[in-house]
A and B are shown apart, each in its own frame.
Chain A
Amino acid sequence: MTKEKNKNLSNSVGAVETKYFTFAGPGNELKLESGDILGPVTLAYETYGRLNRDRSNAILVCHALSGDAHAAGIHEGQDNAGWWDDMIGPGKAFDTGIYFVICSNVIAGCRGSTGPSSINPATGKPYAMDFPFITISDMVNAQRHLMDFLGIKRLLCVAGGSMGGMQVLQWVASYPDMVRAAIPIATTKKHSPQQIAFNETARQAIMADPAWRDGNYYGLDQPERGLAVARMIGHITFMSDQSMEEKFSRRLKKGRLNFNFDPEFEVEGYLHYRGANFVKRFDANSYLYLTKALDYFDLSGGKVIPVGKVIDTRFLVISFKSDWLYPSSQSQDIVRLLKRRNMDATYCELNSTYGHDAFLVEVEEQTTLIKHFLDKTHSGYMVADYYGIS
């Protein structure tokens, strides 16, 4: 997603390192929603800030489709700040002076956690298409193991946008007693046919590339053209009509029409640039598996909060007016559910023109909401039986 590099390091968490946690060894494999098993499983993760003495200040931040464990700060010798660096750091929305923030790469990812590009211990070769299908619930189960390892029994908050927001909702559905507060942003409780359609188009672009070789391209070039097209489709859906008009209008790269099929318009150049950059850092098979995980996601029918279950999780739901990929109506569906269950919740639709990308770039208003919401949650204000939940 669109993200300007953060040059201001004065309130950065500074240099950070990715750590690795491996579990689900032989005999203890992770049981997946599909019925398959996976193991051993490695999770790449980063932490920022300090866990307090009673372990009550931990916040799990969940990344979106193309994100990774590197949410904040910089890696030694590199200059690219984490994907939510504007939001995580001293004095920021997720204030690392107060909170202990954790972010891990999802399983099926390709940024250090076990995924299709990892070595299959059974064959000694990359899993490729032998990798089992993963769901959002499997991702959350894996994160749960990481929380156990870190000794965190209850998270002060789970937060994330887009696919990260689905993990937030899944956390509440799977482990409600472990989630004190939930911040699902620009997300949905079930993937819609339109969202599935975009993902299927992206998958077909990858699989139509001869270089994909039924997924067995490891050791060779990856299907760069297919993956780049998939990513270009993605970027179109992340922007709004208005933000594209403002960013590109009909401006030409060379100032005049050349009457050829090279990228002539700036918007074409942008998409090519985004596609070309993406293939350098992302595995095509991971893209296939992760988009499938998104499409399988469906917590409709009251599954977010099981009927009869009394939970005291507080919610902050955020959407963006110009987001048409995960439109406000989907966040409002979440809100309707929260009302039906008399949950203590805040919902705000922010007036951004950035489309789905807004959750990464609209820092100021999200900061106000999240900072105060967390402050209220952390200051020990209990809401158990708040509204005499039915």
Chain B
Amino acid sequence: MASPDVRLDHKIIYSIVDPGARVLDLGCGEGDLLYLLVREKHVMAQGIEKDDRSIQECVKKGLSVFHDDIESGLREYPEHSFDFVILNQSMEEVRNVDSLIQDALRIGNKVIVGFPNFAYIKARLMMFFRGRAPITESLPYSWFDTPNVRFLSITDFREFCSEKDIRIISARYLGEKGIVRFLPNLMALNGIFVLAGS
């Protein structure tokens, strides 16, 4: 991978995706991750994004993107349309998480989910000592302007997967200075999970 200024979560997802894979990125934004995957790993990329300005940026990068809501945008896809469905930093903005993840597992062989960890130590300290809604590097918004509607921890997500019979193939945890290997629910800003159907 050429550029050193690639975001850490993108680097990790990049390392997970196989070359030449069929990839769908849900909430692909301006397409930085997809562009990286197309350029370096020659994946067959498709994005879904709700913001029309971002779509223009994707098209400038030569990416194919649907202007759509990720919650309603998956229904039409046949089963196993993709090798990887990526849901990075967008699940927390979704109301019906369960059906979205089930849909993603239906159309993708593997689903990569990346989300901010609400139980990160700084968030806990902010709650506990200052009595304030947490604002961290991975949760940078004030309570009144956050797009997030779901707040979860790494432990919460593990429990969700076990309850829903979703297989966790692997998990990576990201801290301020890189990969976290110790007490991830306390020390990680973000978690990235690779899931498959049961």
Binding site for B on A (CB under 8 A): 314, 316, 332, 335-337, 339-340, 342, 344-351, 365, 368-369, 372-373, 375-376, 381, 383, 386-388, 390
Contacts and interface: CB of A to CB of B under 8 A. Distances in A.
A386 B56 CA distance: 22
B64 A336 contact: no
Contacts of A314: 64
Contacts of B77: 339-340, 342
Contacts of B76: 336-337, 339-340
Contacts of B63: 346
B55 interface: yes
Chain A binding surface SS class: mixed
User: What is the interface residue range for chain B against chain A?
Assistant: 20 to 34
27 contacts: A316-B59, A332-B68, A335-B66, A340-B76, A340-B77, A342-B78, A344-B44, A345-B46, A346-B63, A346-B65, A346-B66, A348-B55, A348-B56, A348-B65, A349-B52, A349-B67, A351-B52, A365-B52, A368-B56, A368-B59, A369-B56, A372-B60, A381-B62, A386-B44, A387-B46, A387-B81, A387-B82
Contacts of B58: 346
B173 to A, nearest CB: 32
B59 A369 contact: yes
Pairs of residues from A and B, 7 with the lowest C-beta to C-beta distance, nearest first: A339-B76, A376-B62, A336-B76, A348-B67, A347-B66, A372-B59, A346-B64
Interface string B75-119: 011100110000000000000000000000000000000000000
Contacts of B78: 340, 342, 390
A307 B77 CA distance: 15
Chain B binding surface SS class: mixed
A373 B62 CA distance: 7
A242 to B, nearest CB: 17
A365 B59 contact: no
A345 B68 CA distance: 13
Interface of B: 22, 44, 46, 52, 55-56, 58-60, 62-68, 76-78, 81-82
Contacts of A316: 59
A316 B60 CA distance: 13
- Between A351, A376, A383, A387, the greatest number of chain B beta carbons within 10 A of the residue's beta carbon is seen for A387
Contacts of A336: 76
A301 to B, nearest CB: 15
B59 to A, nearest CB: 5
A344 B59 contact: no
A372 B57 CA distance: 10
Contact of B59 (A340, A373, A383, A387): A373
A339 B52 CA distance: 19
Nearest to A315: B64
A347 B62 contact: no
B67 A344 contact: no
A316 B58 CA distance: 13
Contacts of B82: 387
A222 B163 CA distance: 74
B44 A387 contact: yes
A374 to B, nearest CB: 10
A354 B127 CA distance: 49
A383 B62 CA distance: 13
B65 A350 contact: no
Contact of B52 (A342, A348, A375, A388): A348
Contacts of B56: 348, 365, 368-369
B60 A345 contact: no
A344 B60 contact: no
Contact of A346 (B22, B44, B55, B81): B55
A335 B64 contact: no
Contacts of A368: 56, 59-60
Given A340-B77, A387-B81, A388-B22, A347 B67 contact: yes
Contacts of A386: 22, 44
A381 B38 CA distance: 12
B59 A346 contact: yes
Contact of B68 (A347, A365, A381, A387): A347
